[in-house]
Structure formats: C-alpha cells, structure tokens
Amino acid sequence: MSISIFAIVVTYNGSKWINKCFGSLVSSTIPVKILAIDNASSDGTPDIIREKFPQVEVIETGLNLGFGKANNIGLKRVLAEDADYAFLLNQDAWVEGDTIEKLVEVHQKHSEFGILSPVPYDGTGEKEDYLFSEYYKNKIHTKKKYLNKTFEIEFINAAGWLITIDTIEKIGGFHPKFKIHGEDTNYTNRIHCLGLHKIGITFATKYYHDRQKRKTIEHTQKKRIYALKNKIKTSMFNPNNNSTKILLFNILSYSKAIITNPLSYQVNFIGCFYSFVFFIKSTGHKNIHFKL
C-alpha cells in the first residue's frame, strides 16, 4: 500500500540549519513530499533551499505568520491532496534516516495515536533534549507499552510530530490566536477534549533539536514573565477548562502573593492582568476544530 506523507518545515532566518534539516528529510527511508513554508526570512533561506534541495517545494508567505499559521498552510495542502500523514519538523531539527518510517510503522499497528513523536535529543546527539528530560519524560504513561517501546504522553512539543490525516480532519489547524509558543499545547488540549486520539512517543527512534544553548537564558526575569503569560493563555484557551473558575482562582492567588510577598509584585501583577486579558480574548474562541 502506498503511503503519502508531507513533511512540513516552517522557516525563518534558518539558513544555518538548512543542510541538516532538509538533508535528513531528503534522505528519509520512506518517501516524503517536503514543504518549506518561509515566514519572510531576510537571510536568503528560501533561495538557499531551492538551490541545495530542488526537490523541496518552497512557499513564501511574504510576512511572519508565526509557527501555527504557517504550518496551517502545509496542513491545508495535506487535506487537499488526501495524504495519510503530515510530519512537522522544526527548522533547527533533523531526523535519522528511518525516523519517519518507524513512526508510521507504530501508527499502522496502533491507530489510536493521533500524534506520534520520536525521542528528542539535543543538537550534539549525545543526550536527550533538556526540556524532554526535565519536564516531559516523567509524564509518560507506562501502564501500557505499545509496539517498539512506544508510550502515551499528555504532551510533547511540536518540533517533530507525525500527525494522522484523521486527526487533521477532526482537529483542523493550529489556533489562529497563537503566533508563537503555546500553539502545540493548545492543539493537544483540543485532542484531549475530543477524546478520540492519543498522543504518543516512541523510543524506537529519535531526532535532534539544536536548542541546548537556550537553556542558559531561560531563567531570567523576562523569560519567567513570558512563560507565565503563555501558561495563562494556554489555560484560558483550553476547551477542557472553565475559564471563569481559572480567572477567579488566578486573581485570588496572585493578589494574595502580592500582599504576602511584595518583592514578587511585578510578576504577580502581570499574572492578574493577563488573566483578565486572556479570559476576554478566549471568550467564544475555545473551539476544538479550526477549519483549514
């Protein structure tokens, strides 16, 4: 049986990763149609891809749409051509030769998975990605082990997702209110709300995500505030949650923190403020399906 797969890479000034990222997709042991959706790069990324990898179709958006909306262009193409899978890969990531083939193999045996991810390693290839090892790995559900050391997981970031056509048909595209960060969390929240598919990670294969240097700056005040805003936003837009209860809980919690710990005034005031902002913005926009 012939299997149709689209690999979708959203690019933005990613010239330094082109060889590893697209070279790995071109060398896949299972054939994939490769789409590069470029968000108005200024470093020549689209032309470099065309020159080095003429088999890659480059779509230039003309402006920076962000991760979600740019990927939606590719997902719409997947639906239009009635493909079997989409494989989303970050521009700063690359796969092993058989990574996509092994993901498909797992899904062919276990169709309950709507999203499957390989294990992410850092760009050196020597150890697991730090976010995976520190935050996601302990959330793997090990009660039932699937084919090839595959496990269910509540969430895994979208730097290397195999998404089934059935999932795309039922969930649609990424939420248009998320430009960068949080869009993959919102997508998995919508999958959980529908309750028809599982999210899985398989230790039978891996991929590489070149972001290990970011760890050194993630604990600055600016980063903490950004993470707080993103946490509040994803919580408010989660169709599984009652936004009114979240708003009341947040206001009480952050207000109490302001009183008891004046030194944390800035962060907790921002928490109160954005709880109101995202409560208003999410009203009427907590859809499960977004048409592509």
Q: Alpha-carbon distance 125 to 259, whole Å?
A: 47
Cα torsion through 90, 39, 286, 76, rounded to 10: -80
The contacts of residue 269 (CB under 8 Å, 6+ apart) are 254, 258
Q: Cβ(155)–Cβ(139) under 8 Å? A: yes
**Which fold does the domain 5-215 belong to in CATH?**
Spore Coat Polysaccharide Biosynthesis Protein SpsA; Chain A (3.90.550)
Going by the DSSP 8-state scheme, the letter that residue 219 receives in this structure is T
Cα atoms in the 13 Å half-sphere on the side-chain side of 27: 12
What region does 287 belong to: left with phi over 0, alpha with psi -120 to 50, or beta?
Answer: beta
Q: Which tokens is 200 given?
A: 């899985």
Per DSSP bridges, beta strands 113-122 and 93-95 are unpaired
* Whole-number Å distance between alpha carbons of 204 and 172: 28
Written as six digits, the tokens of 153 are 């997981």
* CA angle, 276 then 136 then 100, to 5°: 115
Digit-by-digit pLDDT tens for the chain (292 residues) are: 589 999 999 999 999 999 999 999 999 999 999 999 999 999 999 999 999 999 999 999 999 999 999 999 999 999 999 999 999 999 999 999 999 999 999 999 999 999 999 999 999 999 999 888 888 888 898 777 666 689 999 999 999 999 999 999 999 999 999 988 899 999 999 999 999 899 999 999 999 999 876 655 555 667 778 889 999 999 999 999 999 999 999 999 999 988 888 777 888 899 999 999 999 999 999 999 999 9
> Following DSSP, what letter does each residue of 151-174 receive, concatenated?
EEES---TTEEEEEHHHHHHHBS-
| Structure token pair of residue 190 | 């919508």
CB 11 within 8 A of CB 46: yes
